[in-house]
């Protein structure tokens, strides 16, 4: 499902216009992104948790030259599915 399909499904589910549903989706993404940018996590009970994790630097290999390289660490966003979401996916 892409963003356009999500907006359509959401608009139909809550009986609002696609424009209003698109505003909701965009706002949700913006709020979660801002929270993660501030180092906070976003927990939605039954759905999951969006958080920022620290990646350690690691060694890698340049596939063209076979030369060993150092891949820098850094902060990356991560999503951990909640119990209810996992159960729905499992079937």
Name all domains of the chain by residue range, CATH numbers in brackets: 3-89 (4.10.520.10)
Q: Are 11 and 21 in contact (CB under 8 A)?
A: yes
Q: Is the pLDDT of residue 36 over 90?
A: yes
Q: Is the pLDDT of residue 23 over 90?
A: yes
Give the closest residue to 24 by CA, choosing from 36, 34, 11, 39.
11
Whole-number pLDDT of residue 73: 92
Q: Is the pLDDT of residue 49 over 90?
A: yes
CA distances (Å), 17 to each of 14, 33, 59, in order? 9, 24, 50
Q: Is the pLDDT of residue 42 over 90?
A: yes
Give the other-Cβ count within 10 Å of 67's Cβ: 9
Whole-number pLDDT of residue 78: 97
Whole-number pLDDT of residue 91: 78
Question: For 15-42, what is the mean pLDDT?
Answer: 97
Question: 28 is written with which tokens?
Answer: 């949700």
Q: Is the pLDDT of residue 88 over 90?
A: yes
């Amino acid at each position: 499902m892409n963003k356009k399909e999500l907006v359509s499904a959401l608009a139909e589910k809550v009986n609002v216009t696609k424009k209003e549903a698109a505003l909701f989706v965009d706002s949700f993404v913006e709020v979660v992104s801002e929270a993660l940018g501030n180092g906070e996590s976003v927990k939605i009970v039954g759905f999951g948790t969006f958080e920022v994790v620290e990646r350690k630097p690691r060694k890698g290999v340049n596939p063209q030259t076979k030369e060993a390289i150092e891949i820098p660490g850094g902060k990356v966003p991560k999503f951990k599915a909640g119990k209810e979401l996992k159960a729905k996916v499992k079937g």
